[in-house]
């Protein structure tokens, strides 16, 4: 610049004094600006001649980028819908398409999976095109899948608008969003013309094709593309200026032959996404449906002015399990919400004869169409017509659109253009009507106008209405558009043809269509649409025969598939549910054994999806055979909590279940196979599946015969499996070797939290091996080793482990021949252990000498909450030692001392402890002869104790005097909730005292006075007392010599005096 005399030496010096490059540039510009236009023009000439790239960047590139940003902000800012969009800012990170996503209709996917995916990873929208780790690279090809109406296009709009505002992915210079609707209008395109035709302001597309600027190419709606992508026969093209077929252009871009430096983002419904080979996809994400709170927010947004209506709609949706699942999809939720709201608004104005609560899919859509056809649409109609004119116009429009919808469905065509409208004889002027605008969305672009139905199901319902109407008069097969086919006369023949086509279709795309077609034969839908789209009562001519045909489709061999389930859905739509109701009732009563015929199996498969009986648990115990289980596999796949106990299953069934657990679609989280006939071979089959399964968290194999070899197979699987949390191998004869194998697994597995090994004869050796593993394992929380002959030697080893392991919370050593030596070691460990919460030592051989050792642990330990010492040999001496420790202990909440030969002295000591102890909530002293003396001492303690809630004194030699002392305590005690006095002898006198206490006491909830010689008089006293008692919810008076007539009188009296109280007499 100095050589050109544009800057003096002094000015150049001032510029160089600026601290940073941007400030130096600003200084130069400021100096030259003061010298007039000549200097500015000279600067431009200087840059142009000395640095052409910089000149191009300033004069072309930057304005082009700015213009692009402004264009996207303007277009996508206006089109972005309001409402809850938080769901779209976090996508599920998936590893590919599951089998059901590749094969089934969107609706069937949602129904089968309950709207849930077994996916633990997610990715924020702002990181969608970033590397997942520091060592990975950004994805080139990303695919986002989602069912129809889930929000794929909304997601694209949200991303583009947020990017254009500069809030995310600033490293991307150009975002180029395209829809396949646009691409359908071209036959041939080059990569550069693709860019320039959509974005004319990009005057230098070579900067994108050459990779000079990081670019994201968005291709939205692959399922709407008119031509299937054929990657196997792609004609390679690397010239960005060469025009080729559009489908070939897309495959070349995805393969990286064109725009190889650009990132590509494709959105699609799942079934269409399978066109792209998995090997080409670097990242696949999925849009999840609504969670409960999001569904409520969505409905509140729909009915902003009427929160009460929003709550009523939500209540109705939640009451219908299958409807609630489908409403996780926003598009379907909007249709359902609108329909239910329309019903609720109109149900009070019309008779029950004409208004029915919408429960089936067809009823939901009938209400929606009735609302669209009538003047009750939320927006005011553009034209006001007489009723007759409105009906005639509606029939004409629905007929025209229905034909378009039906043949579009057959051709898998979901987007239509003006030429399509003309081809189907649709008057374009009709498309301006209010009705059309409610069913069909019109999208006007610069070079074309596209039409598509507001939701896929709207197209399917219209197609069903067209087919239903046309089938009544059609001579030839309606599925042949040309009309050239064998004659097919009568509605029923056409109905059968539609159902058979649906059953034979590989892609399942006609399933919802035939559901709607069946629904149009239901009485309720006829009531709703008669006069508008249907003739009143015309369904009566066809309904019974249609039902018979559908039932005939079920009466095949034991081959159950989604096709069979869809046929059951058709019967539901036509309102014939007798079969399903019979099977559902049997499921509730657990009486399915012997009644699972092929038809009933079909009903069972259907109920596994929709029945409330299966919501918490699917219990198919004691009713399945190999063949039935095999037929139900495709449905069992999606049961979250599955019980298959006591089915006499052998190893061949485990091969079947193993195959189910191995597939990507599997959603089984809890599986119980207790009390079957599974050997090591079956265990191996299950173990192989555990190597790859990612859903199962609990496996129950108790009471089988897997043996040491089966235990080894499962142990090897546990070394790799990082999902399973609970494993129950109770009573499986795994012996010492099996315990050894599992101990090895515990050294590697860091996920298992619960292990049940009771009744397996693992012995002291097996216990020692597990103890060694516990010194290193930090994940196991619950270990059950009862009835295993662990003995003192095994107990000592476990005690050593407890000194190091502070993660184990529950240890069950019941019935293990543990004597004082073993308990001394265990209690010594408790003095330093900081993790154990529950210790079960019942039914061992702990003598009174073990009492002081236990007492020492209780004085020191501050974490143990439950201690079970039932059925040992503590006697009064051991009991007194423990009681003294309880005066100091402030941690224990539950203490079991039943069957320990404890008498009044130990009971008195325990009573003294209760006067100061503030932590113990449950005390069990049953089968100990504490007598009235011990009872009196405990009663005195209860007058001051405020924490004890459960007291068990069954068969404790308590008489009337003890009961009277206890009654006095109950008059002042406000904490005791459960009192069990079964098997004592309190008599009438004791009963009268207790009755007086009950009139005052408000804390007691459960009272057991069974077998207490109350007689009729004592029972009447208790029954009368309940009139004034408002807390008791259960009382047991059985075995008190009341007699049958007396029992009825007492029972009636209690029900009258205290209706909320359950009584056993």
Question: Does 317 score more than 90 pLDDT?
Answer: yes
Q: What residues contact residue 654 under an 8 Å CB cut-off, 6+ apart?
A: 673, 678, 681, 682, 683, 685, 686
Residue-level pLDDT at 54 = 62
- Say if residue 934 is exposed, middle or buried (CB neighbours under 10 Å; 0-12, 13-18, 19+): buried
Question: Does 518 score more than 50 pLDDT?
Answer: yes
Question: Does 407 score more than 50 pLDDT?
Answer: yes
Question: Does 986 score more than 90 pLDDT?
Answer: yes
* Dist. CA 900–CA 897, nearest whole Å: 6
**Cβ atoms within 10 Å, residue 398:** 23
The model's pLDDT over 615-626, given as tens digits with 9 standing for 90+, comes to 789 999 999 999
Residue-level pLDDT at 382 = 46
Residue-level pLDDT at 15 = 83
The residues with which 449 forms a beta bridge, in sequence order, are 444
Give the residue-averaged pLDDT of 862-875. Answer: 97
Give the residue among 511, 530, 513 at the shortest CA–CA distance from 366.
530
Coil/strand/helix, residue 679: coil
Give the residue among 563, 360, 313, 355 at the shortest CA–CA distance from 461.
360
- Say if residue 1063 is exposed, middle or buried (CB neighbours under 10 Å; 0-12, 13-18, 19+): buried
| Phi, psi dihedrals of residue 784, rounded to the nearest 5° | -115, 115
Element holding 671 (H helix, E strand): strand 670-672
Residue-level pLDDT at 95 = 87
The model's pLDDT over 365-384, given as tens digits with 9 standing for 90+, comes to 999 988 888 766 666 444 44
Do the bridges between strand 283-286 and strand 90-94 make them parallel or antiparallel, or are there none, so unpaired?
antiparallel
Residue-level pLDDT at 477 = 86
What single DSSP character describes residue 57? I
pLDDT interval class at 386 (50, 70, 90):
very low
* Dist. CA 380–CA 377, nearest whole Å: 7
The model's pLDDT over 810-850, given as tens digits with 9 standing for 90+, comes to 999 999 999 989 999 999 999 999 999 999 999 999 999 99
Tokens of 525: 């839908």
Work out the widest C-alpha separation in the chain, in whole angstroms.
Answer: 125
pLDDT interval class at 268 (50, 70, 90):
very high
End-to-end CA distance of the chain: 110
Residue-level pLDDT at 846 = 97
Residue-level pLDDT at 206 = 83
Residue-level pLDDT at 770 = 98
Q: Which CATH superfamily is domain 64-289 in?
A: P-loop containing nucleotide triphosphate hydrolases (3.40.50.300)
The model's pLDDT over 779-803, given as tens digits with 9 standing for 90+, comes to 999 999 999 999 999 999 999 999 9
The model's pLDDT over 945-977, given as tens digits with 9 standing for 90+, comes to 999 999 999 999 999 999 999 999 999 999 999
Give the residue among 415, 420, 417 at the shortest CA–CA distance from 447.
417
pLDDT interval class at 146 (50, 70, 90):
very high
Give the residue among 909, 1009, 930 at the shortest CA–CA distance from 967.
1009
What single DSSP character describes residue 60? I
**Cβ atoms within 10 Å, residue 393:** 17
* Dist. CA 341–CA 345, nearest whole Å: 6
Residue-level pLDDT at 934 = 98
Report whether 152 contacts 264 (CB < 8 A).
no
Report whether 921 contacts 947 (CB < 8 A).
yes
* Dist. CA 461–CA 569, nearest whole Å: 15
Residue-level pLDDT at 6 = 80
Question: Does 1001 score more than 80 pLDDT?
Answer: yes
* Dist. CA 570–CA 513, nearest whole Å: 10
**Cβ atoms within 10 Å, residue 370:** 19
Question: Does 354 score more than 60 pLDDT?
Answer: no
Tokens of 11: 């000015």
The residues with which 981 forms a beta bridge, in sequence order, are none
Q: Which 3-state string (H, E, C) describes 763-824?
A: HHHHHHHHHHHHCCCCCCCEEECCCCCCHHHHHHHHHHHHHHCCCCCEEECCCCCCCHHHHH
Across 261-275, 408-422, 742-756, 1051-1065, least confident range = 1051-1065
Estimate to the nearest angstrom the gap between the alpha carbon of 113 and the chain centroid: 8
pLDDT interval class at 385 (50, 70, 90):
very low
* Dist. CA 445–CA 120, nearest whole Å: 40
Report whether 642 contacts 668 (CB < 8 A).
yes
- pLDDT, mean over the chain: 90
Residue-level pLDDT at 389 = 46
Residue-level pLDDT at 1052 = 85
Element holding 466 (H helix, E strand): helix 456-471
Give the residue among 892, 954, 950 at the shortest CA–CA distance from 922.
950
Q: pTM value? A: 0.86
Residue-level pLDDT at 161 = 92
* Dist. CA 829–CA 771, nearest whole Å: 13
In the chain, what are the domain boundaries? Answer: 9-50, 64-289
Give the residue-averaged pLDDT of 1053-1061. Answer: 83
Give the residue among 458, 506, 495, 491 at the shortest CA–CA distance from 361.
458
* Dist. CA 325–CA 291, nearest whole Å: 10
Give the residue among 614, 603, 608 at the shortest CA–CA distance from 634.
608
Give the residue among 172, 182, 193 at the shortest CA–CA distance from 264.
172
Residue-level pLDDT at 387 = 44
pLDDT interval class at 392 (50, 70, 90):
low
% of the chain residues with pLDDT over 90 = 68
Give the residue among 540, 625, 609 at the shortest CA–CA distance from 572.
609
Question: Does 542 score more than 80 pLDDT?
Answer: yes
Question: Does 343 score more than 70 pLDDT?
Answer: yes
* Dist. CA 907–CA 886, nearest whole Å: 13
Residue-level pLDDT at 831 = 96
The residues with which 896 forms a beta bridge, in sequence order, are 868, 924
- Helix ranges restricted to H, 348-455: 361-373, 387-410, 418-423, 434-439
Residue-level pLDDT at 348 = 66
């Amino acid at each position: 610049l100095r050589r050109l005399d544009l800057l003096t030496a002094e000015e150049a010096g001032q510029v160089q004094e600026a601290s940073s490059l941007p400030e130096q540039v600003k200084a130069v510009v400021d100096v030259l600006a003061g010298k007039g236009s000549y200097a500015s023009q000279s600067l431009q000439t200087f840059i142009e001649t000395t640095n052409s790239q910089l000149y191009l960047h300033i004069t072309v590139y930057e304005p082009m980028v700015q213009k692009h940003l402004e264009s996207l902000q303007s277009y996508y800012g206006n089109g972005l819908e309001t409402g809850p969009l938080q769901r779209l800012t976090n996508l599920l990170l998936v590893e590919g398409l599951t089998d059901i996503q590749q094969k089934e209709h969107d609706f069937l996917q949602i129904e089968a999976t309950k709207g849930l995916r077994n996916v633990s990873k997610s990715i924020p929208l702002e990181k969608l095109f970033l590397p997942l780790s520091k060592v990975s690279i950004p994805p080139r090809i990303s695919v986002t899948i989602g069912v129809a109406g889930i929000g794929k296009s909304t997601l694209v709009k949200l991303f583009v608008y947020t990017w254009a505002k500069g809030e995310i992915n600033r490293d991307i210079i150009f975002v180029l969003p395209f829809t396949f609707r646009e691409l359908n209008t071209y036959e041939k395109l080059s990569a550069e013309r693709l860019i320039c035709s959509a974005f004319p302001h990009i005057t230098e597309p070579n900067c994108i094709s050459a990779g000079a600027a990081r670019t994201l190419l968005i291709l939205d709606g692959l399922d709407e593309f008119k031509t299937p992508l054929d990657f196997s026969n792609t004609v390679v093209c690397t010239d960005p200026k060469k025009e080729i077929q559009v489908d070939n252009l897309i495959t070349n871009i995805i393969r990286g032959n064109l725009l190889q430096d650009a990132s590509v983002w494709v959105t699609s419904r799942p079934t269409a996404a399978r066109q792209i080979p998995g090997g080409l996809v670097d990242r696949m994400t999925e849009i999840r449906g609504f969670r409960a709170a999001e569904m409520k927010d969505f409905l509140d947004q729909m009915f902003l002015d009427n929160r009460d209506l929003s709550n009523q709609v939500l209540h109705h949706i939640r009451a219908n399990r299958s409807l609630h699942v489908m409403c996780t999809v926003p598009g379907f939720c909007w249709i359902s919400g609108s329909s239910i709201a329309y019903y609720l608004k109109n149900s009070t104005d019309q008779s029950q004869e004409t208004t029915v609560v919408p429960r089936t899919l067809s009823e939901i859509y009938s209400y929606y169409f009735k609302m669209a056809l009538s003047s009750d649409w939320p927006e005011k109609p553009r034209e006001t017509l007489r009723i007759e004119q409105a009906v005639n116009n509606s029939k004409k429009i629905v007929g025209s659109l229905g034909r378009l919808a039906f043949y579009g469905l057959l051709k898998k065509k979901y987007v239509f253009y003006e030429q399509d409208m003309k081809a189907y004889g649709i008057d374009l002027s009709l498309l301006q009507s209010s009705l059309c605008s409610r069913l069909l969305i019109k999208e006007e672009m610069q070079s074309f106008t596209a039409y598509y139905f507001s939701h896929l199901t709207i197209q399917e319902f219209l197609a069903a209405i067209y087919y239903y109407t046309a089938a009544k008069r059609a001579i030839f097969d309606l599925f042949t558009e040309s009309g050239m086919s064998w004659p097919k006369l009568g509605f029923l023949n056409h109905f059968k043809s539609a159902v058979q086509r649906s059953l034979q279709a590989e892609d399942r795309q006609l399933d919802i269509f035939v559901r709607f077609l069946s629904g149009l034969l239901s009485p309720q839908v006829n009531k709703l649409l008669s006069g508008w789209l249907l003739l009143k009562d015309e369904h009566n001519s066809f309904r019974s025969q249609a039902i018979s045909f559908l039932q005939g489709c079920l009466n095949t061999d034991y081959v159950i598939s989604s096709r069979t389930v869809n046929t059951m859905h058709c019967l539901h739509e036509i309102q014939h549910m007798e079969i399903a109701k019979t099977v559902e009732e049997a499921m509730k009563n657990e009486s399915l054994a012997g009644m699972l015929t092929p038809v009933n199996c079909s009903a069972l498969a259907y109920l596994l999806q929709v029945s409330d009986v299966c919501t918490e648990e699917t219990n198919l115990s004691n009713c399945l055979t190999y063949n039935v289980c095999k037929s139900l596999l495709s449905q069992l796949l999606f049961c979250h909590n599955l019980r298959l106990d006591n089915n006499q299953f052998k190893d061949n069934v485990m091969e079947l279940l193993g195959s189910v657990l191995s597939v990507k679609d599997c959603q089984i989280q809890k599986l119980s196979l207790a009390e079957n006939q599974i050997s090591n071979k079956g265990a191996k089959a299950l173990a192989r599946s555990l190597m790859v399964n990612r859903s199962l968290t609990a496996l129950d194999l108790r009471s089988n015969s897997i043996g040491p070899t089966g235990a080894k197979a499962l142990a090897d699987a546990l070394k790799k499996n990082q999902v399973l949390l609970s494993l129950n191998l109770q009573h499986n004869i795994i012996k010492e070797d099996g315990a050894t194998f599992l101990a090895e697994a515990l050294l590697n597995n860091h996920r298992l939290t619960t292990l049940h090994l009771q009744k397996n004869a693992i012995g002291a050796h097996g216990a020692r091996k597990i103890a060694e593993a516990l010194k290193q394992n930090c994940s196991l929380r619950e270990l059950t080793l009862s009835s295993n002959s662990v003995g003192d030697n095994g107990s000592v080893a476990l005690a050593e482990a407890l000194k190091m392991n502070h993660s184990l919370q529950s240890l069950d050593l019941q019935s293990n021949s543990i004597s004082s030596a073993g308990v001394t070691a265990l209690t010594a460990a408790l003095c330093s252990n900081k993790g154990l919460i529950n210790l079960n030592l019942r039914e061992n051989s702990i003598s009174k000498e073990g009492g002081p050792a236990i007492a020492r642990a209780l004085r020191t330990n501050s974490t143990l909450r439950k201690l079970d010492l039932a059925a040992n040999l503590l006697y009064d001496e051991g009991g007194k030692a423990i009681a003294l420790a309880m005066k100091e202990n402030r941690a224990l909440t539950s203490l079991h001392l039943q069957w320990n030969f404890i008498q009044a002295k130990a009971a008195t000591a325990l009573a003294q402890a209760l006067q100061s102890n503030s932590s113990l909530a449950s005390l069990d002293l049953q089968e100990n002869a504490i007598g009235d003396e011990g009872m009196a001492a405990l009663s005195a303690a209860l007058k001051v104790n405020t924490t004890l809630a459960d007291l068990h004194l069954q068969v404790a030699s308590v008489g009337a005097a003890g009961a009277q002392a206890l009654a006095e305590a109950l008059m002042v005690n406000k904490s005791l909730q459960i009192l069990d006095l079964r098997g004592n002898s309190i008599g009438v006198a004791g009963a009268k005292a207790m009755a007086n206490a009950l009139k005052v006491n408000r804390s007691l909830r459960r009272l057991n006075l069974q077998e207490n010689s109350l007689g009729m008089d004592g029972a009447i006293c208790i029954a009368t007392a309940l009139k004034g008692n408002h807390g008791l919810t259960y009382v047991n008076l059985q075995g008190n010599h009341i007699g049958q007539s007396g029992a009825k009188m007492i029972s009636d009296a209690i029900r009258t005096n205290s209706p909320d109280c359950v009584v056993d007499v």
